[in-house]
């Protein structure tokens, strides 16, 4: 996906740094290009600097160092109201003293738009978020989901090319969140706008985005399409942060052709795909996704690597079985298997043989 | 709750179709609780019990508020119309005056003056006549001295009667004889005594109940109604106020006058058939009745003080004789209650309307300057980092921790003609030494000092409202294309209006009743209505007028509150959170 997107670099962060107090860099050397029409998500734990990046782009914080460019022009010195960027906030930030229609009218009024034109645009924007009947209400008379729809309509009504959203669905319940996720992506796609979306919810990031920038500690840890992030995490932070993950620590004994042989701390030697190790002797964390581990010997591929494991816990979850085993000294090794007629149900205390393919097993930084 | 469950389970175990039955039951009739009562009724009962418990919890506080807050206000409202002093002090005169036609160009008739003699005599004994004099003096100057001087000289009016009676029979000079005479024989006239009890209680505000060791006999009361009445008053006063034994005291001169008038008024014939105690003395006096002086009380009073010949004084007494009066309120708005109805006061006596207007106007100016100064400070407080904001908050609160007098005096030092500000201006050459600015002892001084003193009352509510305005509102507005000013004016300001409202109400109401600061720095042009109220309370002692002025002030505040509620909505006022 990344490669297909036409990269005319609509938004560019060029070696941007940010410090609030002159001591700690909250954003460290951020380089990021966002294409026109792209839906890019900044994903990361709380405090990793996502909001700060968004605020620098919106103009509410100034970059301590580096350039931010929008459509080819540096915008460091342009005040927020002249940037023409739409924003959606987590707490909606609807103006409580105005009706829904007045809220939507506000950005048009400050642009000195005529009354008739304004009304047309407001109606269209409200219809777009299926809130056409609510123009006369006050924000306080709407539910959280409805308020966020209005906030969305307000950010879009003046037809910005770029819309920023800072955890817009953070305050909503799961079902509403899923509906709105879908609607936001649909709108963004239909209108062809560029969206920079901030969230700490990985599912949200994976389902909505063209590309995801995983933030940690003020840096982008990996910038890739959702499937790449999941399938081929580039470091152990991303592997841990996105989806469920098993790790085994060990030392690289041999490194060649993108393959690494790793001696686990338990003494077992396994074959892995080398991702983030540089030389023999490096400490490494080997990462395996739970659904790539197999314990049904008949189903195992011939070149699969095998290890002895002891079943600690077996949970029946309907569509899948979730088994916790002890393997190579790790008590928290999870195996997920699909519920199928030929799938055996395990008992705690049982000793089994598990296995996985070297391709599914990535040697990452320790 | 427990018995409800028991009742259901006792009858039969709950079955799954209970719910369905319940759902049906609201179609067939009112929903029933488990004990068979209508559900609504039992709910109300449960709620009532809860409410009662809540009420009991707050009862001490409620009582405290009632006693310390509601009661004084009620007392003030009462005082502003109360005028019982005239009727209490001169009851018979007031009664007699009712028949006097004050349109005619004449003085009141003789019976009025007679009644006045007895009323004033008793009032002078009780030392209540000066109080009444002061009260009526608020309405017509000079009445105070009229009552004071006349009260003292009632004995002179009585003197000729006493001499004649004692010559007729020396027993009349003996207190014990009088006691026997008045006690008489047979049934006592308790209703006469009780009337006098009531009258003296109203006059002296002391308890007059209980046995005083005397009651006039019904026979004597019929023979000598005036004497029996006056002697009863004397007896009550002696027993209850002086705490003496009635029989051992010589009666007042007014009793002799009463006896003389009774004898002249047909009593001389009536006593011929009397055989009770002291009959001999009475008959001797009756025999000499033609020697009793015929006194024209009107002339006697005018001789005592020619103020009694002045119709204005009588008109005032008649106008203010009812127990309730609108006079204080009329005075409060520069009007006057006269015999001819409501009239405007003379030009040079009109001050209250002007004072009310000034108080309102200056309070508005003070409120407005508090908004102007307080808004930016509150904004800073709400938006600065915590540490700096806390420091600033201490500075805002500092005035609260300093004595009001110290603060006001500090303004004196700063603002006076030879004060710091004028000195600095002269030194800078902005004003000449001769043209020093008058910054104090005028309205400007009051406005400056009061704005300073009341500023925290504006800042605090503003701050607490601003604190609740999320900073994202401003950011959202700017991201939507608004300039800083538009974002402030169209988004931030409307959300801070409840704070302005709360602060303004607080400041305005406080300043409208402010007293100390205008007193100290206001000079003559910068004083408020409250200073006038204080004057009437502590100097002129015209509490009725003070109460009326206070009531008007209270009404003005309530009216403003109501107007504000209609315009802004009191729900929009926030003092916090
Ligand atoms: N206005 C500010 N002043 C000082 N520090 C801040 C400010 N805003 C954020 N920070 C700090 O910067 C770091 C990143 O914050 P933020 O960008 O809000 O993270 P995220 O949105 O990823 O949770 C945090 O450690 C936070 O404490
Ligand atoms: Mg954030």
Pocket test for ligand 1, best of A43, A47, A215 (most atoms within 8 A of CB): A47
Please tell me the predicted confidence (pLDDT) of residue B573: 63
DSSP B96-140: HHTT--TTSSSPPPHHHHHHHHHHHHHHHHTT-HHHHHHHHHTTS
Set out the domains of chain A in order of their start, with CATH numbers.
2-236 (3.40.50.300), 244-365 (2.40.50.140)
- SS3 for chain A is CCCCCCCCCCEEEEEEEEECCCCCEEEEEEEEEECCCCEEEEECCCCCCHHHHHHHHHCCCCCCEEEEEECCEECCCCCHHHCCEEEECCCCCCCCCCCHHHHHHHHHHCCCCCHHHHHHHHHHHHHHCCCHHHCCCCHHHCCHHHHHHHHHHHHHHCCCCEEEEECCCCCCCHHHHHHHHHHHHHHHHHHCCEEEEEECCHHHHHHHCCEEEEEECCEEEEEECHHHHHHCCCCHHHHHHCCCCEEEEEEEEEEECCEEEEEECCCCEEEEEECCCCCCCCEEEEEECHHHCECCHHHCCCCCEEEEEEEEEEEECCCEEEEEEEECCEEEEEEEEECCCCCCCCCCCCEEEEEECHHHEEEEEC
Reported as a single tens digit per residue, the pLDDT across A146-180 is 999 999 999 999 999 999 999 999 888 889 999 99
Interface membership of B479 toward A (CB under 8 Å): yes
B353-572 maps to CATH 1.10.3720.10: yes
Q: In B244-385, where does DSSP find H-type helix? A: 253-262, 268-270, 279-287, 297-304, 311-319, 327-332, 352-383
Mean of pLDDT over chain B: 87
Q: What is the rounded distance in angstroms from the CA atom of residue A115 to the CA atom of residue A281? A: 72
- Residue B574's pLDDT band, with cuts at 50, 70 and 90, is low
**Nearest listed ligand to the Cα of residue A27:** 1
- Minimal Cα–Cα distance from A107 to chain B, Å? 5
Mean of pLDDT over chain A: 91
pLDDT(B446) > 80:
yes
pLDDT(B576) > 60:
no
β-pair partners for A316: A321
Residues 6+ apart with CB under 8 A from B389: B380, B381, B382, B383
Which atom belonging to ligand 1 lies closest to the Cα atom of A55?
17
- Residue B3's pLDDT band, with cuts at 50, 70 and 90, is very low
Q: Are B495 and B507 in contact (CB under 8 A)?
A: no
**CA A50–ligand 2 middle distance (angstroms):** 6
**Nearest listed ligand to the Cα of residue A56:** 1
Q: Where in chain B is the domain with CATH 1.10.3720.10?
A: 353-572
- SS3 for B533-552 is HHHHHHCCCCHHHHHHHHHH
What is the C-alpha end-to-end distance of chain B, expressed in Å?
Answer: 37
**CA A55–ligand 2 middle distance (angstroms):** 10
- Minimal Cα–Cα distance from B372 to chain A, Å? 23
- Closest CB from B476, B482, B484 relative to A93: B476
Q: What is the rounded distance in angstroms from the CA atom of residue B291 to the CA atom of residue B163? A: 11
- Minimal Cα–Cα distance from A99 to chain B, Å? 13
**CA A53–ligand 1 middle distance (angstroms):** 10
Compute the C-alpha angle B93/B97/B100, nearest 5°: 155
pLDDT(A8) > 70:
no
Mean pLDDT for A195-209 is 94
Structure tokens at B332: 């409060």
pLDDT(B10) > 50:
no
Mean pLDDT for B302-309 is 90
Taking the whole predicted model, whether its pTM rises above 0.80 is answered as no
pLDDT(B5) > 70:
no
Please tell me the predicted confidence (pLDDT) of residue A364: 92
**For residue B93, what is the DSSP state?**
H
Residues of B in contact with A106 (CB under 8 A): 477, 480, 482, 490
Q: Are A88 and A256 in contact (CB under 8 A)?
A: no
**Nearest listed ligand to the Cα of residue B385:** 1
Which residue is closest to B480 within chain A, CA to CA?
A107
Residue of minimum CA distance from atom 7 in ligand 1 = A20
Identify which of A192, A230, A190, A224 has the alpha carbon closest to the alpha carbon of residue A210: A224
- Residue B288's pLDDT band, with cuts at 50, 70 and 90, is confident
- Residue B478's pLDDT band, with cuts at 50, 70 and 90, is very high
Interface membership of B41 toward A (CB under 8 Å): no
Identify which of A196, A182, A105, A118 has the alpha carbon closest to the alpha carbon of residue A145: A182
User: A111 and B478 in contact by Cβ < 8 A?
Assistant: no
pLDDT(B14) > 60:
no
Residues of B in contact with A125 (CB under 8 A): none
Matching residue, tokens 């950010």: A155
Which residue is closest to B475 within chain A, CA to CA?
A60
């Amino acid at each position: 996906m990344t490669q297909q997107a036409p990269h005319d670099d609509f938004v560019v962060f060029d070696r941007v740094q940010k410090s609030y107090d002159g001591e700690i860099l909250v954003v460290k050397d951020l380089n990021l290009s966002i294409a026109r029409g792209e839906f890019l998500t900044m994903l990361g734990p709380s405090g990793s600097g996502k909001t700060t990046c968004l605020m620098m782009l919106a103009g509410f914080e100034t970059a301590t160092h580096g350039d931010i460019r929008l459509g080819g022009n540096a915008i460091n010195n342009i005040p927020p109201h002249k940037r023409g960027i739409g924003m959606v906030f987590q707490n909606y930030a609807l103006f409580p003293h105005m009706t829904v229609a007045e809220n939507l009218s506000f950005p048009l009024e400050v642009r000195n738009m005529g009354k008739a034109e304004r009304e047309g645009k407001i109606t269209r924007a409200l219809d777009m978020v299926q809130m056409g009947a609510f123009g006369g209400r006050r924000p306080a008379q709407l539910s959280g989901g409805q308020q966020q729809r209005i906030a969305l309509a307000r950010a879009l009504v003046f037809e910005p090319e770029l819309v920023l959203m800072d955890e817009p669905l953070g305050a909503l319940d799961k079902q509403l969140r899923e509906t709105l996720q879908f609607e936001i992506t649909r709108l963004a796609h239909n209108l062809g706008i560029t969206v920079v979306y901030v969230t700490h919810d990985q599912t949200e990031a994976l389902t909505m985005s063209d590309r995801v920038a995983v933030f940690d500690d003020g840096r982008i840890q990996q910038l890739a399409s959702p499937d790449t992030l999941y399938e081929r995490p580039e470091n152990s932070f991303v592997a841990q942060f996105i989806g469920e993950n098993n790790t085994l620590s060990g030392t690289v004994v041999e490194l060649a052709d993108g393959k690494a042989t790793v001696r686990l701390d338990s003494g077992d030697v396994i074959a892995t795909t080398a991702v983030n190790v540089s030389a023999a002797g490096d400490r490494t964390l080997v990462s395996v996704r739970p659904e790539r581990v197999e314990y049904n010997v008949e189903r195992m591929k011939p070149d699969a690597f095998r290890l002895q494991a002891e079943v600690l816990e077996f949970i029946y979850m309907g569509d899948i079985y979730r088994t916790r085993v002890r393997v190579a000294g790790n008590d928290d090794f999870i195996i997920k298997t699909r519920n199928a007629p030929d799938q055996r149900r395990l008992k705690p205390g049982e000793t089994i043989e598990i296995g996985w393919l070297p391709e599914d097993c990535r040697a990452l930084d320790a | 709750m427990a018995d409800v469950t028991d009742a259901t389970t006792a009858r039969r175990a709950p079955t799954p179709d209970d719910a369905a039955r319940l759902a049906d039951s609201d179609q067939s009739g009112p929903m029933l609780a488990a004990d068979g009562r209508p559900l609504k009724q039992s709910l109300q009962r449960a709620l009532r019990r809860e409410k009662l418990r809540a009420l009991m919890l707050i009862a001490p506080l409620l009582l405290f508020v009632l006693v310390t807050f509601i009661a004084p206000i009620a007392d003030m409202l009462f005082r502003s119309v109360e005028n019982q002093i005239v009727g209490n002090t001169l009851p018979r005169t007031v009664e007699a005056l009712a028949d006097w036609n004050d349109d005619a160009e004449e003085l009141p008739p003789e019976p009025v003056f007679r009644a006045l003699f007895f009323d004033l005599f008793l009032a002078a004994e009780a030392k209540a006549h000066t109080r009444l004099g002061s009260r009526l003096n608020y309405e017509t100057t000079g009445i105070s001295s009229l009552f004071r001087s006349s009260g003292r000289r009632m004995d002179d009016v009585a003197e000729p009667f006493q001499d004649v009676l004692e010559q007729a029979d020396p027993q009349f000079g003996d207190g014990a004889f009088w006691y026997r005479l008045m006690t008489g024989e047979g049934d006592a006239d308790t209703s006469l005594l009780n009337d006098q009890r009531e009258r003296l209680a109203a006059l002296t505000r002391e308890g007059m109940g209980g046995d005083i060791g005397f009651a006039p006999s019904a026979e004597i009361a019929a023979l000598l109604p005036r004497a029996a009445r006056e002697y009863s008053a004397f007896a009550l006063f002696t027993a209850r106020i002086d705490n003496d034994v009635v029989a051992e005291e010589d009666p007042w001169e007014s009793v002799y006058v009463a006896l003389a008038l009774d004898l002249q008024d047909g009593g001389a014939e009536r006593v011929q058939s009397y055989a009770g105690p002291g009959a001999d003395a009475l008959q001797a006096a009756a025999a000499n009745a033609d020697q009793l002086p015929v006194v024209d009380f009107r002339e006697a009073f005018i001789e005592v003080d020619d103020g009694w010949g002045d119709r204005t004084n009588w008109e005032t007494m008649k106008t203010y004789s009812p127990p309730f009066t609108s006079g204080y309120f009329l005075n409060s708005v520069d009007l006057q209650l006269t015999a001819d109805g409501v009239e405007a006061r003379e030009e040079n006596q009109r001050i209250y309307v002007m004072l009310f207007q000034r108080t309102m106007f200056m309070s508005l100016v003070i409120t407005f300057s508090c908004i102007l100064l307080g808004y930016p400070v509150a904004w800073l407080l709400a938006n600065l980092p915590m540490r700096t904001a806390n420091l600033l908050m201490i500075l805002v609160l500092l005035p609260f921790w300093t004595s009001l007098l110290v603060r006001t005096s500090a303004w004196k030092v700063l603002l006076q003609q030879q004060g710091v500000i004028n000195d600095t201006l002269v030194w800078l050459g902005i004003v000449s030494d001769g043209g020093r600015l008058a910054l104090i002892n005028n309205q400007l001084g009051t406005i400056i000092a009061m704005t300073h003193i009341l500023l925290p009352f504006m800042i605090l509510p503003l701050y607490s409202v601003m604190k609740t305005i999320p900073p994202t509102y401003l950011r959202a507005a700017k991201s939507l294309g608004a300039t800083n000013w538009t974002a402030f004016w169209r988004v931030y300001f409307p959300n801070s209006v409840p704070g302005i409202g709360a602060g303004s109400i607080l400041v305005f109401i406080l300043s409208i009743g402010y007293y100390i600061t205008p007193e100290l720095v206001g000079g003559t042009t910068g004083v408020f209505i409250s200073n006038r109220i204080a004057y009437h309370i502590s100097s002129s002692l015209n509490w009725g007028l003070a109460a009326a002025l206070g009531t008007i002030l209270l009404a003005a505040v309530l009216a403003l509150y109501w107007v504000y509620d209609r315009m802004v909505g009191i729900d929009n006022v926030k003092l916090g959170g």
